[in-house]
A and B are shown apart, each in its own frame.
Chain A
Amino acid sequence: MEKEFTYPEPASLEADRLGEKMILNIGPSHPATHGVLRMKLELDGDLITRADPIVGQLHRGQEKMAENLTYNQFIPFTDRLDYLAPLCNNIAFVQCVEKIAGIGVTERCKAVRVICCELSRIASHLVGIAAYGMDAGSWTVFMYCFTQREKLCTLFEQLTGARMTTSYARVGGLARDIPEGWLGNVNSFANQFLPALDEIDALITRNKIFIDRTAGIGVVSPEQAMQWGLTGANLRGSGVASDLRKDVPYLGYENYEFDVPIGVNGDCYDRWLVRIEEMRQSIRIVRQAIEKMPDGPVNVADPRISLPKKEKVLRDMEDLINNFVLVTQGPDIPAGDAYFEAENPKGALGFYIVSKGGGVPYRVKIRAPSFVSLSAMQEILPGHHMSDMAVILGSFDFVLGECDR
């Protein structure tokens, strides 16, 4: 077949006959790489001619471990994928399992999950723009963002008992119902967050230095973005109105009113604007979810899927047996396969799970949005100045825990 395009060559000095180029190695431990990413750049003076991201330093073999754990045992591992939005990962994984088994979760569970997803999205975007602002030379916005994220972590702690490693979702429901008064706390967070976000916005969005450093830098055309498989805010920054919450609704997102912000130029500045606006939309969704929070149980009533109540386990033989079987063998998932992508803060986090029946998956493939975003760097970075690298990497907001799995 005819080749329609060529891939950039990996960085090397072999073709440099004049001897004017140099190889610069950045990372794996460097503040601009947001984790353990190694960048191998070929430079001509200050200009990047080739870029070669080298990943894998954080590889832990999560997919292999998943094949040897029951479905619920794997949930803590999903915390460590995108560790800035663990709740989203927990929920994406159990949604995929529920898709194979055809489990429909309760309305209350859906609403709680929506609140969790949207609060995590805000927390993740806050870290994303904080680090991005710092890459572009603004320290102040970092402090403002982390103050707000701290409040979110406190909310997560009240809900799940942990600030970062939440492990909150379960197949067929949640680990526990929301604590008393928690929705009120979320509401008061939302009330004080919007003015704080306006402040962050005012600090930096019209800042001349920031605009000079980001506008027109790292431009990704819509075709290019789709070809590379970019998703989430990075794809929307390029002007493609694609949001899985609207396109392939899950968790009842079709019942919420929210807008999908998109960029125009596809540069670093647009990706910033999209993330800022997405946080406002998330607050909108959270408020609607609080307003119509239904009553009722959070777990499905099927004893082969959800744990029975503790009081019943202590009293009834049958519930004790169910409890024992579910904990030791895992929930009974029928044979089949399912692919599910959730709209996570970093992009579409996909799980492809193959089940041969029983409580342990046969194969779990994790489609990590950060991995895909980083693969596009070999085309996006060349042609930019060395100093733009930090800004471009920051604008794509990836996390290496997810990229390397």
Chain B
Amino acid sequence: MEKEKILSEMPFLSECKSSDGILSFDCPPRDLCRAAQILRDRFECQSLNDISALDMGSGMKSGRFAAVYHFFSHTKKKYVRLAAVCESAEAPKLPSLCSVFKGADWLEREAFDMMGIEFENHPRLARILMWDSYPWHPLRKDFPLEGREAPLPPSFEGNEEAAKIVPAPEEGGPFHSPSCGVAFVSKKEPRSRGGDCGKDIEP
């Protein structure tokens, strides 16, 4: 049985329940690199297919941020899932898997960009989808749906007008800010669902 083999090889893992039939384990962050390497070398998981960063809500003091790794074995045709929970909620950190899987490079940069998880020993941890000077991490739960004011990228210097947003005429429509008064008032955002959205956050 695959599950017992993985657990006996890596006693630091603990099994967690999954609702989709994929073998899932919780992994302490310090053992993440070792676990990935063993999965690759002994359990034929040749690919790291995905890294999903999760924010379990700003109410959590520890274990707010987590990363879920999906490995795929092209020979056994099976997925393995590892979940690693960051210890700190203020400065979430995880070890980088870039020394084991090359594909981790951009996936970790994306998790850093969107969720603000710092990956230690990453060769070049920089933002990837947003521009380098962007101050926020938009997929955190305390980031409001309608966005927040941010300084423009340096390429707009001297041409700030080009990036100004003109509010849509239909007040209260989906995904837009009000045409007058204070911008980014989340009360006016009709599609925003869920608790933390729109709370004021500091950079």
Question: Which of A's residues lie within 8 Å of B, judged by CB?
Answer: 1-7, 10, 55-56, 59, 61, 63-65, 67-69, 99-100, 223-224, 226-229, 231, 240, 242, 247-248, 334, 336-341, 348, 350, 352, 354, 360, 362-363, 365, 367, 371-372, 374-376, 379, 404-405
| CB-contact partner of A352 in B70, B106, B128, B138, under 8 A | B70
Specify which of A3, A67, A371, A379 lies most central, judged by the most chain B CB atoms within 10 Å of its CB. A67
Contact with A along B17-36 (1 / 0, CB 8 A): 01110100000000001100
CB distance from B123 to the nearest CB of A (A): 4
Q: Check A350 against B70 for contact (C-beta < 8 Å).
A: yes
Query: Contacts A59-B129, A59-B130, A61-B138 known; A68 to B194 CB distance under 8 Å?
Result: yes
**Least CB distance, B101 to chain A, in whole angstroms:** 6
With A229-B47, A348-B49, A352-B68 already in contact, 7 other A-B pairs whose C-beta atoms are closer than 8 Å: A7-B105, A10-B124, A59-B129, A227-B102, A338-B20, A341-B72, A367-B50
Quick check: A68 and B20 within 8 Å, CB to CB?
Answer: no
B81 within 8 A of A: yes
Name the CB-closest residue of A to B141. A67
Smallest Cβ distance from A384 to chain B, in angstroms? 19
Closest A residue to B34 by CB, please name it: A1
CB distance from B190 to the nearest CB of A (A): 10
Cβ-based interface call for B13 (8 A): no
What total count of A-B pairs have CB within 8 Å? 133
B63 within 8 A of A: no
Residue B84 at the chain A interface, CB threshold 8 Å: no
CB-CB nearest 3 A-B residue pairs = A336-B19, A229-B103, A365-B52
Residues of chain B with a CB closer than 8 A to A223's CB = 46
Check B128–A64 contact: CB distance below 8 A: no
Docked complex Cα distance between A59 and B127 (Å): 13
Q: List 5 A-B contacts (CB under 8 A).
A: A4-B100, A56-B129, A64-B145, A224-B102, A350-B49
Are A68 and B192 in touch, CB under 8 angstroms?
yes
Partner of B74, one of A10, A242, A339: A242
Give A61 to B143 CA distance when docked, in angstroms.
12
CB distance from A227 to the nearest CB of B (A): 5
Within 8 Å CB of B175, what residues of A?
Answer: 65
Chain B, interface residues (CB within 8 Å), range: 35 or more
Q: Do A379 and B102 have beta carbons less than 8 Å apart?
A: yes
Q: A168 to B200, alpha carbons, bound, how many Å?
A: 38
B99-118 vs A, Cβ < 8 Å mask (1 yes, 0 no)? 11111011100100010000
Q: What is the minimal beta-carbon distance from B150 to any residue of chain A, in angstroms?
A: 13
Interchain nearest-CB distance for A171 vs B (Å)? 15
Tell me, rounded to whole Å, the shortest Cβ–Cβ distance linking B111 to chain A: 9
Whether the pair B70, A360 counts as a contact (CB closer than 8 A) is no
**What distance in Å separates the Cβ of B74 from its nearest Cβ neighbour in chain A?**
5
Quick check: B74 and A229 within 8 Å, CB to CB? no
- The smallest C-beta distance from B152 to any residue of chain A, in angstroms, reads 15
Return A241 CB to nearest CB of chain B, in Å. 8
Distance (whole angstroms) from the CB of B76 to the closest CB of chain A? 9
Contact A337 B123 (CB under 8 A): no
Give the complex CA separation of A334 and B70 in angstroms.
22
User: Does B49 lie within 8 Å of A367, measured CB to CB?
Assistant: yes
Instruction: Give the distance to chain B from A230, nearest Cβ to Cβ, in Å.
Output: 8
Residues of chain A lying within 8 A (CB to CB) of residue B129 = 55-56, 59, 404-405
A67 and B106 within 8 A (CB): no
If the complex has contacts A360-B194, A363-B52, A375-B106, are A227 and B46 also in contact, measured as CB distance less than 8 A? yes
B103 / chain A contacts, CB cutoff of 8 Å: 227-229, 372, 375-376
Contact pick for A64, options B50, B54, B106, B138, CB 8 Å:
B138
B138 to chain A, nearest CB (A): 6
